[in-house]
């Protein structure tokens, strides 16, 4: 999405301004980002790999993937990626 010359100039002025001069009183600082949802504009780079999993672990991922058991490998992989990013709540917990 292109921005106008005026918008570009405003962004450049803002980027050059010292932090103390930027008024953020109308937008309180967010300190807890644990519930944040990544924008649909970002898509992580994917790589195809082959791993061996115990049958019960694979069953857990399939049961928890979007759509439940019998879902596509793509949604099972998404479930696995989410679990790895979160670092808890996986098959053993």
Q: Which domain holds residue 72?
A: 53-88
What pLDDT shows up at residue 69?
57
Q: How many domains does the chain have?
A: 1
Residue 67 lies inside a defined structural domain of this protein: yes
3-state SS class at 59? helix
55 in Cβ contact with 63 (< 8 Å): no
Q: pLDDT per residue over 43-80, tens digit each?
A: 777 788 787 888 888 787 777 776 655 555 556 666 67
Residue 79 lies inside a defined structural domain of this protein: yes
Higher pLDDT, 67 or 23: 23
Residue 13 lies inside a defined structural domain of this protein: no
């Amino acid at each position: 999405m292109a921005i106008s010359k005026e918008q570009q100039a405003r962004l450049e002025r803002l980027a050059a301004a010292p932090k103390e001069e930027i008024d953020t009183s109308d937008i309180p600082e967010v300190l807890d980002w644990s519930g944040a949802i990544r924008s649909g504009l970002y898509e992580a780079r994917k790589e195809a790999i082959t791993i061996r999993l115990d049958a019960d672990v694979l069953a857990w991922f399939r049961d928890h993937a979007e759509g439940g058991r019998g879902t596509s490998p793509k949604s099972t992989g998404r479930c696995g990626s989410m679990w790895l990013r979160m670092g808890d709540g996986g098959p053993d917990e």
